Amino acid sequence: MHESGLIEDLIGKIESVARENSACRVVAVEVSIGPLAAIEADHLREHFLLASTGTLAEGAELRFREAADPASRDPLGVFLESVELET
């Protein structure tokens, strides 16, 4: 499933940032969605809620920035833009 791979990668990156900064939890995450990513923000949120269970990102607010330019970096991707941590 396309969404599962995206979310697994995203959670891995978030967990890595949290560990590198000795965080006790992730408060918020902002991601950008490429204009050709073929996934809606609400659908991605559902997958994030399930995949983040038991991780430092569990309960984190998920914010979206939707890219409009198909010529942007990988228009098919979902990118981690920022992570707000509690240390």
* CATH for 23: 3.30.2320.50
Total of domains in the chain: 1
Taking Cα atoms as reference points, which of 56, 67, 60 lies closest to residue 27?
A: 60
pTM, to two decimals: 0.86
pLDDT, one tens digit per residue, over 44-79 is 999 999 999 999 999 999 999 877 777 776 788 888
CA distances from 32 to 22, 23, 26 (A): 25, 23, 18
Q: Which residues pair with 32 in a beta bridge?
A: 65, 79
Which domain covers residue 16, as residue numbers? 2-86
CA distance 52 to 57: 5
